[in-house]
């Protein structure tokens, strides 16, 4: 198969995508062939949101038919903890302990069938002292019940500037959470090894953390436990830390029974036990001039973090560093509170706190424009970060490769924004019960883990004597196309056709100390580590190739399955070079490593460089709203997004589509409802609505911004997974434009018609 140098051909793309995901042939943990004697795991959880477990007796459950083991906190060999950051999360609630939410796991059962495990669970005897749960951030704020010290980021003197500003405006915003709804629920399969230790197959974004807690709970060494990851049936952040649960529980049960244990959460249990996107309530005040330029901004946000920290402190840091959005704010004071409530611990979710921050600042800009009677697109233009001045964030990081105004100009032109505004005004004058709305939302999204030690990756490339290539990298494939991109990176570097390159399942035994596939860094980290391995291989094999060509020196080029010297007009097939190198005892295996240094910030001063680079773009949404029913249509959606130079344009376009639709769900559809007793009432698709085909924009225009490569990143590309989600905020703001009132998130049909009834 012929290839243009450095470019993956369309037949290749079709071959590798259709062969797995699109053809339905991808195998997940529920599809695995199991070892003989495999047991089924089941978690027994608290029936109360807040209660002290005063007595626990599992003796009858242990003698129930088909049951191999029932484990409580007392049966854990090692420390009873699986908290990823702050040590506040036990693996199993101990007797005498107080549960933090309805669903917290008390004990785990291994049985021959799920039915027998559930029957055993019904035989457990326990006594609880029920306490009053805290279910709202208002209660937590009143009690000053925070999981960690409030985070604050301040620049300048906002109070003084606010006092003297020509205009002042106060506002608030409330946003709900969001269920990840990966189509493969949390799952793990733990198999005892004959030489000791465990092999665990996990549906996780974070193999090393799975390994860390399995070994800690069992009192083992990291080398005793191998965690393997094949394809995940979705993740979206929900399998970054909370995938550890099924791994921990299956590992404990396999250790106890000496048999393989398969642990798969049922959908309703997964819904009720796992964390969501962080809900919040925000209050703000802005001081601005007659053109809408923000002079000073004060923001207070109360986040519902749930019962324990999980990664909330990191989420709030990420949110804090995006309170400015795409705008230069000379004087700002932001305070974020991590509130403790008796709900499941909220966790990582695509965007990791950024959508929450962006929704607030975009709401501020919109209301400033309304106050001044100006079009919000013009007010946004006045506030954008500059290139030569007004180009440092509140945490003093330089905003480089700034395309905000360039993207704004292009999206305004492509959408005919101002012409469309005139048409919408004319439509709204003629129609009483249907109104149209328009909104423009820019994007600026920081890429990297804020904690510096996470910014690293290892990789391994094996070339076989027949010229085929096997690559190992630390990332996990959850449908985002990471494996395809890594195949493309190696194809570009070694010049080998993609049909000769295979990506192995991720394994902690092959690539140790992996960083979670999160923060949109999968391609950045894994790709750079693989390139390093390729560079080392080429450096070692170049002299061999030259000698095979009868040359002593020359510039060697790797392309089209050939290693050649164009100056001499000769070359050798990659397959022959591989075989010859093997025959002369040269290693055809190489490891690679990548690290991002100088990433981090000072917790005391809240200054530094938390990001390696920014991803930017812009969007415009045009909607039509039925005021009587709350039903709306997205007539047109324009997105212009900067991917730098894409590793795979098709995958990136797909990620933009998917991220936007998931953001649309958060903004307009997905409403979580918790009862007064702390029970999650929206626990299935019977009562929780996620976007479907009917929510797609009628005209969906997506383009990639051209001519802005990212020099700091692999193949000049930019991250794609999370940033496009924020473009869905343009739909939310367009609905506000049509409705003529502010709206919470999600702006459900009930919310969209509520102002109408309030007016009457």
Q: 553: how many CB neighbours lie within 10 A of its CB?
A: 11
Question: β-strand 456-463 against 261-264: which pairing, if any?
Answer: unpaired
Residues above pLDDT 90, as percent of the chain? 94
Distances (CA, A) of 326 to 128, 162, 202, 446, 454: 50, 21, 38, 11, 26
12 pLDDT band (50/70/90 cuts)?
very low
> Looking at the domain 280-450+602-759, which fold is it?
Aldehyde Oxidoreductase; domain 4 (3.30.365)
Model confidence pLDDT, tens digit, residues 402-450: 999 999 999 999 999 999 999 999 999 999 999 999 999 999 999 999 8
Mean pLDDT of the chain: 95
DSSP string covering 425-488, please? HHHHHH-SSEEEEEEEEEEEEEES-SSGGGSEEEEEEEE-TTS-EEEE-S--BSSS-HHHHHHH
- Distance separating alpha carbons of residues 352 and 454, to the nearest angstrom: 15
- For the chain, helix (H) and strand (E) counts, in that order, are 19, 29
754 pLDDT band (50/70/90 cuts)?
confident
DSSP string covering 29-46, please? GGGSPPPTT-EEEEEEE-
Domains 32-132+180-273 and 280-450+602-759 fall in the same CATH topology: yes
State residue 9's pLDDT score. Answer: 39
- Name the 3-class secondary structure at 107: strand
Contacts of 96 (CB under 8 A, 6+ apart): 52, 53, 54
pLDDT at 7 over 80: no
522 sits in the region (left: phi over 0; alpha: psi -120 to 50; else beta) called: alpha
pLDDT at 329 over 70: yes
Task: Give the torsion through C-alpha atoms of 165, 297, 370, 171, to 10 deg.
Answer: -120
- Distance separating alpha carbons of residues 364 and 172, to the nearest angstrom: 9
Mean pLDDT of 249-278: 98
- Residues 434, 626 contacting (CB under 8 angstroms): yes
- Distance separating alpha carbons of residues 616 and 641, to the nearest angstrom: 6
pLDDT at 5 over 70: no
Q: Across-strand partners of 638?
A: 620, 701
State residue 8's pLDDT score. Answer: 33
Does the active-site annotation cover 722?
Answer: yes
Torsions phi, psi of 439, nearest 5?
Answer: -155, 145
State residue 760's pLDDT score. Answer: 41
- Distance separating alpha carbons of residues 238 and 205, to the nearest angstrom: 8
Mean pLDDT of 133-154: 98
What does pTM read for this prediction?
Answer: 0.95
- Name the 3-class secondary structure at 721: coil
Domain layout of the chain by residue ranges: 10-28+456-595, 32-132+180-273, 280-450+602-759
pLDDT at 23 over 80: no
CA angle 737, 739, 744 (to 5 degrees): 85
Model confidence pLDDT, tens digit, residues 360-372: 999 999 999 999 9
Task: Give the torsion through C-alpha atoms of 138, 144, 147, 148, to 10 deg.
Answer: 130
- Residues 280, 141 contacting (CB under 8 angstroms): no
758 pLDDT band (50/70/90 cuts)?
low
Residues above pLDDT 70, as percent of the chain? 96
pLDDT at 759 over 90: no
State residue 711's pLDDT score. Answer: 96
- Distance separating alpha carbons of residues 223 and 215, to the nearest angstrom: 9
Model confidence pLDDT, tens digit, residues 52-102: 999 999 999 999 999 999 999 999 999 999 999 999 999 999 999 999 999
Q: 581: how many CB neighbours lie within 10 A of its CB?
A: 20
State residue 15's pLDDT score. Answer: 45
Active-site position among 597, 722, 750, 760: 722
Model confidence pLDDT, tens digit, residues 206-224: 999 999 999 999 999 999 9
**Terminal CA-CA length for the chain:** 69
Exposure class string for 124-161: b at 16+ Cβ within 10 A, else e? bebebeeeebbbbbebbeeeeebbbeebebebeebeeb
Residue 23, Cβ density class (10 Å: 0-12 exposed, 13-18 middle, ≥19 buried) = exposed
CATH 3.30.365.10 is right for the domain spanning 10-28+456-595: yes
Task: Look up the CATH number of domain 32-132+180-273.
Answer: 3.30.365.10
- Residues 366, 377 contacting (CB under 8 angstroms): no
pLDDT at 490 over 80: yes
State residue 19's pLDDT score. Answer: 58
């Amino acid at each position: 198969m012929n290839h243009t140098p450095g470019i993956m051909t369309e037949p290749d793309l079709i071959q590798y995508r259709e062969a797995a995901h699109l053809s339905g042939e991808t195998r997940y943990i529920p599809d695995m062939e199991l070892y003989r004697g495999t047991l089924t795991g089941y978690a027994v959880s608290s029936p109360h949101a807040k209660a002290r477990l005063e007595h626990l007796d599992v003796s009858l459950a242990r003698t129930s038919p088909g049951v191999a083991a029932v484990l409580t906190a007392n049966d854990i060999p090692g420390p009873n903890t699986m908290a990823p950051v702050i040590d506040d999360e036990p693996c199993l609630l101990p007797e005498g302990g107080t549960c933090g939410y309805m669903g917290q796991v008390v004990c785990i059962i291994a049985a021959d069938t799920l039915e027998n495990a559930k029957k055993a669970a019904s035989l457990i005897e326990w006594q609880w002292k029920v306490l009053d749960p805290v279910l709202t951030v208002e209660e937590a704020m009143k009690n000053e019940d925070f999981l960690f010290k409030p985070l604050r980021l301040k620049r300048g003197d906002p109070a003084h500037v606010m006092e003297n500003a020509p205009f002042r405006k106060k506002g608030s915003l409330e946003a709900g959470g969001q269920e990840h709804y990966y189509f493969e629920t949390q799952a793990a399969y733990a198999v005892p090894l004959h030489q000791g230790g465990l092999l665990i197959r996990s549906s996780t974004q974070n193999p090393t953390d799975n390994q860390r807690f399995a070994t800690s709970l069992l009192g083992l060494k990291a080398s005793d436990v191998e965690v393997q990851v094949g394809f995940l049936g979705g993740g979206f952040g929900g399998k970054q830390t909370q995938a550890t649960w099924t791994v921990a529980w299956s590992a404990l049960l396999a250790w106890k029974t000496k048999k393989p244990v398969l642990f798969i959460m049922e959908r309703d249990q997964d819904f009720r036990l796992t964390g969501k996107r962080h809900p919040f309530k925000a209050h703000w005040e802005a001081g601005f001039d007659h053109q809408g330029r923000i002079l000073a901004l004060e923001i207070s946000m109360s986040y519902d973090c749930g019962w324990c920290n999980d990664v909330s402190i990191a989420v709030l840091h990420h949110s804090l560093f995006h309170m400015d959005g795409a705008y230069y704010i000379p004087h700002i004071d932001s305070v974020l509170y991590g509130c403790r409530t008796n709900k499941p611990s909220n966790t990582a979710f695509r965007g990791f706190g950024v959508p929450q921050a962006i929704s607030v600042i975009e709401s501020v800009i919109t209301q400033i424009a309304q106050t001044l009677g100006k079009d919000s697109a013009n007010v946004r233009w006045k506030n954008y970060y500059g290139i030569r001045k007004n180009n440092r964030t509140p945490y003093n990081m330089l905003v480089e490769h700034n395309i905000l105004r360039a993207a704004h100009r292009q999206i305004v032109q492509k959408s005919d924004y101002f012409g469309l505004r005139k048409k919408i005004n004319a439509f709204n004058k003629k129609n009483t019960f249907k109104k149209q709305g328009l909104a423009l939302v820019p994007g600026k999204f920081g890429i990297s883990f804020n904690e510096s030690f996470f910014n690293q990756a290892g990789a391994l490339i094996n070339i076989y004597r027949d010229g085929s290539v096997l690559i190992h990298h630390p990332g996990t494939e959850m449908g985002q196309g990471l494996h395809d991109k890594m195949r493309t990176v190696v194809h570009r570097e070694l010049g080998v056709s993609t049909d000769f390159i295979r990506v192995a399942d991720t394994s902690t035994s092959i690539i140790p100390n992996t960083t979670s596939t999160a923060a949109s860094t999968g391609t950045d980290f894994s790709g750079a580590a693989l390139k390093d391995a390729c560079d080392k291989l080429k450096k070692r094999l170049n002299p061999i190739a030259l000698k095979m060509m009868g040359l002593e020196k020359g510039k060697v080029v790797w392309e089209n399955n050939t290693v050649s010297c164009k100056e001499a007009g000769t070359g050798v097939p990659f397959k022959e070079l591989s075989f010859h190198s093997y025959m002369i005892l040269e290693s055809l295996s190489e490891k690679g490593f990548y690290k991002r240094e100088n990433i981090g910030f000072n917790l005391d001063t809240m200054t530094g460089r938390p990001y390696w680079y920014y991803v930017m773009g812009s969007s415009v949404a045009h909607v039509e709203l039925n005021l009587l029913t709350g039903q709306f249509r997205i007539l047109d959606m324009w997105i212009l997004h900067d991917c730098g130079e894409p590793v795979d344009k098709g995958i990136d376009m797909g990620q933009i589509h998917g991220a936007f639709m998931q953001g649309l769900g958060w903004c307009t559809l997905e409403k979580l409802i918790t009862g007064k007793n702390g029970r999650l009432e929206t626990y299935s698709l019977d009562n929780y609505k996620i976007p479907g085909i009917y929510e797609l924009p009628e005209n969906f225009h997506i383009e990639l911004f051209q001519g802005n490569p990212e020099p700091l990143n692999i193949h000049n590309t930019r991250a794609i997974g999370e940033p496009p989600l924020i473009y869905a905020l343009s739909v939310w703001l367009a609905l506000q434009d049509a409705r003529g009132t502010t709206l919470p998130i999600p702006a459900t049909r009930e919310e969209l018609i509520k102002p109408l009834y309030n007016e009457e």
